[in-house]
Amino acid sequence: MCKADPARGKNEICAAILAGGTNTRMGQNKAMLQVNGIPLIQHIHSQLTALFDTVVISANDEKKFAFLSCDVIPDETPDQGPLMAIYSVLRALGKPVFIVATDIPEIPHSILDSILNLAREYPESQVVVPVTAKGDYEPLFALYRPELIPVIQPALSAGLRHIYGLFSRVPITRYTLKPREILLNLNHPQDYQRYIKSGI
């Protein structure tokens, strides 16, 4: 059952790590970058399993992630981008899912707790997504509800591939990140090197 830690107030929520990207900018598989002697995806997975009862991987190569001993959910149609990945995870789990990209190495508890608090406060919202002070969305560190499924399906059929295009079609709640709240992204080799040298 997808049931998150009730002590933190996260009822009936699962978590999913999106690991099916092409890694074009990094030049190698981000999920397998080493962090303190373990793959990056394992580092993220360990953080999430301390907070959620159910953590899955969204990817099309189940064998690659067998070492994590968790379910791997493939895209229903491969190579269609993150919106298809979210759709496939929601269909497979049938529960609200906190989505995190495999290139976000640290899970800031303050941001996560704010997202989950807003999800409880606004149950009609089908997405709870962080937004920077400049107005930029962080769609791969956000909560998605299964009520999105009948909206995403025709959008995918119409050729929509990016998550942003979904936000104008459904009720969403935005969480504006505070100045001290930062979501670190490892998009390029330089980002990874800075992260490793920072000793976080």
Q: Is residue 23 part of a domain?
A: yes
Average pLDDT value for residue range 23-43 = 85
Cross-strand bridge partners of residue 99 = 16, 142
- What pLDDT does 172 receive? 97
Decide if pLDDT at 93 tops 70: yes
The predicted model scores a pTM of: 0.91
Decide if pLDDT at 128 tops 50: yes
Helical ranges in the chain per DSSP H: 40-49, 82-93, 109-121, 149-157, 164-167, 189-198
Q: Is residue 3 part of a domain?
A: no
Domain that holds residue 174: 10-198
Q: Is residue 5 part of a domain?
A: no
Cross-strand bridge partners of residue 143 = 98, 128
Q: Is residue 172 part of a domain?
A: yes
pLDDT digits (tens, 9 = 90+) for 145-193: 999 999 999 999 998 888 988 999 999 999 999 999 999 999 899 999 9
The CATH number of residue 74's host domain is 3.90.550.10
pLDDT digits (tens, 9 = 90+) for 58-78: 999 889 999 999 999 999 999
Q: Is residue 2 part of a domain?
A: no
